[in-house]
Structure 1
Amino acid sequence: MGKGDIEAGFPDVHNDGLYPSMIESPQLRWGFIRKVYVIISIQLLFTAAFASIFIFISPVRNFAKYNPNRFFVFFGAAIVTIIVLFVLSKYYKKHPVNLFLLGLYTLGMSVTVGFACAFVDAKIVLEAAFLTGVVTASLTLYTFWAVKRGSDFSFLGPFLFASLMVMLLFSLIQVFFPLGPTGRMVIAGIGALIMCGFIVYDTDDLIKRFSYDDYIWAAIAIYGDIINLFIYLLTILNDL
């Protein structure tokens, strides 16, 4: 082991400094990271394509906005997504069941995104998508840069969880006691900040703590952060 490795505190010659706390081949870790981002990219492309149907195809858009049965479709998709997520938490390492469940989860999330986009002008959707991409890329690059220099973001976990619970409580209050556009913007702004924190936290986990067999769960975590960030930014832009 070289002097630089000793001074940097790396425990093994296989550690290249990207994730100081892990003793494994950098090739294996980078392969895992690439695999996760390939899955996320496929999920996002599918969601974008599915949401575009709600934006550009008038019958689908009108169904989402005016048809009385739209509530059954929307809430049905939401319930299925939650159930699939729960099942995935038990079987995310079991192939090929995990891939099938991942597809169902992505479809459910895509339906939710599609309904959200149906009520918003296409220009605003594109603006929200662009901002989401810029913020996600910036936070991801920052996290990789910071972790390479020894930073650890695991401390964010309890704060993010507590913040999410508080925000969900206010969202529930908003359902029964509407606070108007200003209230929606405040809640969406807080939600966007929380999702930014989750992107950093989950990317930190991706680099240092997820095992190689956790690729499905890692993809779900980051994909969910990105989608929720997009929804919150869409809400803010629509209420401006």
Structure 2
Amino acid sequence: MYGFSSVEKGDYDLESGGLYPGISHGENQLRWGFVRKVYGILAAQIVLTTCHPMNFVFLGLFTLCLSVTIGVACANTQGKIVLQALVITSVVVSSLTGYTFWAAKKGKDFSFLGPYYSLLLLCLFSQIFFPIGSTATAVVGGLGALIFSAYVVYDTDNLIKRFTYDEYIWASAILYLDILNLFLYILNLLRGLQSDG
């Protein structure tokens, strides 16, 4: 009637409700546009990471360097373990992203966790200076996977509520790093478990 299409009974329009409590309709529409842009860029980065190296030119040196690093890590690992890590990472990221959108809609806020995550990350990176065996590699891999799973929630919450509309490149890069680190730690966890087995 007024140029709006009606949603059939039983269908749910994800963007019709507020993204989180207290957001105006106009702000909600702008925020959804921002979210779509970030996930579009993120999808392009992930696709280019898994494609032939000639495609890396399109996304730049940043994605190229990280893709080569991931490629080297995967080349030195059995294909079965890489595939398992990829599937686990996909399920974890999808689940945590869905949870964060649901939690934001319910009014939950994860911004207070930032300092704690930074401290945990510093502790995790301190293990670089100490040689560890396969059991410790699995433990560190598990801890790293937990920390970067938490970062996916934290940074997705920032995407929904705190990044400005011009920060879509920065938001995409942060989520990209969260996902790559999560993948690498899951890969290390699986390699450590295989070495012990």
Q: TM-score, normalised by structure 2?
A: 0.83
CA distance in 1, matches of 2:94, 2:127: 29
Kindly state the Cα deviation for residue 156 of structure 1 after the two structures are TM-superposed.
Answer: 1.0
Percentage identity across paired residues of the two chains: 52
Q: Which runs of 5+ in 2 are unaligned?
A: 1-15
Are 1:214 and 2:170 counterparts? no
Secondary structure in structure 1 of the residue aligned to 2:51? helix
Listed as ranges, the matches of 1:1-240 within 5 Å are 16-20=17-21, 22=23, 24-50=26-52, 103-173=60-130, 178-240=131-193
The residue identity in structure 2 corresponding to 1:185 is: A
Is contact 2:140–2:189 with CA below 8 Å preserved after alignment?
no
Secondary structure in structure 1 of the residue aligned to 2:63? helix
The residue identity in structure 1 corresponding to 2:88 is: L
CA distance in 2, matches of 1:50, 1:232: 23
CA distance in 2, matches of 1:107, 1:195: 21
CA distance in 2, matches of 1:28, 1:220: 20
Kindly state the Cα deviation for residue 25 of structure 1 after the two structures are TM-superposed.
Answer: 2.5
Kindly state the Cα deviation for residue 22 of structure 1 after the two structures are TM-superposed.
Answer: 4.7
Is contact 2:38–2:172 with CA below 8 Å preserved after alignment?
yes
Kindly state the Cα deviation for residue 104 of structure 1 after the two structures are TM-superposed.
Answer: 1.1
Is contact 2:18–2:28 with CA below 8 Å preserved after alignment?
no
Count residues with an aligned counterpart: 174
Kindly state the Cα deviation for residue 21 of structure 1 after the two structures are TM-superposed.
Answer: 5.5
Q: Which runs of 5+ in 1 are unaligned?
A: 1-14, 52-98
Is contact 2:20–2:105 with CA below 8 Å preserved after alignment?
yes
CA distance in 2, matches of 1:172, 1:42: 34
The verdict on how the C-alpha distance between 1:194 and 1:50 changes in structure 2, with shifts beyond 3 A counting, is farther
Superposed CA RMSD = 1.9
The residue identity in structure 2 corresponding to 1:38 is: G
Is contact 1:132–1:226 with CA below 8 Å preserved after alignment?
yes
CA distance in 2, matches of 1:117, 1:226: 15
The residue identity in structure 1 corresponding to 2:18 is: G
Describe the superposition over 1:120-178 as per-residue Cα deviations: whole angstroms up to 9, x where unpaired. 011111110000000000000000000100000001100100000011112222xxxx2
Structure with bigger helix share is 1
Is contact 1:124–1:234 with CA below 8 Å preserved after alignment?
yes
The residue identity in structure 2 corresponding to 1:139 is: L
